[in-house]
Structure 1
Amino acid sequence: MYQHKLDKDIRCPLEYGLEIFGGKWKSRIICVLAKKDVLRYSQLRKEMGNITDAVLASMLKELISNNIVTRQSYDQIPPRVEYSLTDKGKSVVPILQNICKWSGVYHREDSDNTMIQCRQCDYNK
């Protein structure tokens, strides 16, 4: 895993928020988990579409370390692991929905290329 040469110097709450849920995949993972509640890794991967296993695993680790997503493993055969949003993760959903609503006004894409989750989102209309 890439190691930053300098420690992050986050001085602004907005920078903190964007670090936590910004980027291409984190907000999508949060939105999928908000809609589906609890998902196993393979179900989440399927819902995400074109994300690689390495990227999904990395994003989940970051979201877990920031207490946005929780990972529940069950001691059974075959092993079962489920992911869901924490209360902190659920609290960011309205913010992402507002961003989506705002973006829907200014950004229109061909609906064939829009993610399945975005087509189902009430805030993107």
Structure 2
Amino acid sequence: MLIHNRRHADLWTLLAPPAIWALHFLLCYVLGSVACAKAGDPFAAIPLPRLGVGLATLLALALILVAGRQARRHWGFGTADPPHDDPTDDDRQRFLGFATLLLCALSFVAVLFVALPALTIADCR
């Protein structure tokens, strides 16, 4: 799921941001649940998993921003207005770029919301 400089948008480009969000979600909740299960005490502080969630969040946000930058380029910001529904290769690229850009925005906000409990909750309660 590496994001690299693609000339043309495709299905992998479209799926990258939600996949990053899903992996981030899984990692955050696995880190938290394993740490709390090992601690055994609901009032135990969990600083290392919180740090792990913070680092995973920064990485996920950076990857989503890279995908968003690429999607913006595929969309051709300012060259044509939506809807991109003509049966041409250019419109297909613009549609995929625009849809990917919207998914990047959604995924960015979702990653922030997934990381929010690690920021506000310091123990296993």
State the TM-score, normalized to the length of structure 2. 0.26
Q: Which has the higher helix share?
A: 2
Higher relative contact order (CA 8 A, sep 6+): 2
Q: Which has the higher strand share?
A: 1
Structure index of larger Rg: 2
State the TM-score, normalized to the length of structure 1. 0.26
